[in-house]
Amino acid sequence: MAGSSPAMMAMVESVWSLDPKLATDTVPVGDLALTRVLLSNNANFPWLILVPRLPGLVEITDLELNEQVQLLGEIDAAARVLKSVTECEKLNIAALGNVVAQLHVHVIGRRHSDAAWPKPVWGAAKPSAYSPALRDGLIGALRRGLKITDRERAER
């Protein structure tokens, strides 16, 4: 669908909806061309989740090649902005999907001092919700870095 017309993308998106568990565990940052960018509501790790807004996806291999390249570009952008904003020491990038089937990609900033290092973050430490001020400041910086300005779409 990458490269399709805005009208076509809007039609396909109209039958897509965010997985309820992803919605519960995150706050929206905003939409890039292909993916909805979410911030995991867990202050232990700066942790973005990118969800392609196309219905029925489980594996990266379910995307057509041009869609995969678009996804990769958005992962690259999210990773660079997350690293710049949080000054993290390492990135972890992963598409697992063992618990939530809807295709989603984790982009996580890691520090040698974080609650799980050097282990992966999944299941490693009890989630700790952001304070509203910290969360909103982080989301604002991420939106500026990702050049997301369409607040209405991000919050729907």
Among 13, 18, 33, 97, which residue interacts with a second copy (rule: CB under 8 A)?
Answer: 97
Q: What residue type is assigned to position 83 of the chain?
A: K
Residue range at the interface with a second copy (CB under 8 A); choices 40-48, 86-94, 138-146, 148-156: 86-94
Q: What residue type is assigned to position 84 of the chain?
A: S
CA distances from 136 to 1, 52, 111, 151, 155 (A): 32, 23, 21, 13, 13
The residue among 23 and 60 lying less far from a second copy, judged by its C-beta, is 60
| Angle of CA points 148, 150, 154, to nearest 5° | 85
Q: Does 76 bind a second copy (CB under 8 A)?
A: yes
The residue among 112 and 156 lying less far from a second copy, judged by its C-beta, is 112
Among 19, 73, 86, 141, which residue interacts with a second copy (rule: CB under 8 A)?
Answer: 73
The residue among 116 and 135 lying less far from a second copy, judged by its C-beta, is 116
The residue among 16 and 117 lying less far from a second copy, judged by its C-beta, is 117
How many residues make up the chain in this entry?
156
The residue among 101 and 134 lying less far from a second copy, judged by its C-beta, is 101
CA distances from 51 to 10, 55, 71 (A): 16, 10, 9
Q: Does 111 bind a second copy (CB under 8 A)?
A: no
Q: Does 151 bind a second copy (CB under 8 A)?
A: no
Residues 6+ apart with CB under 8 A from 25: 40, 41, 42, 127
Which pair of structure tokens corresponds to residue 147?
């050049």
Q: Does 24 bind a second copy (CB under 8 A)?
A: no
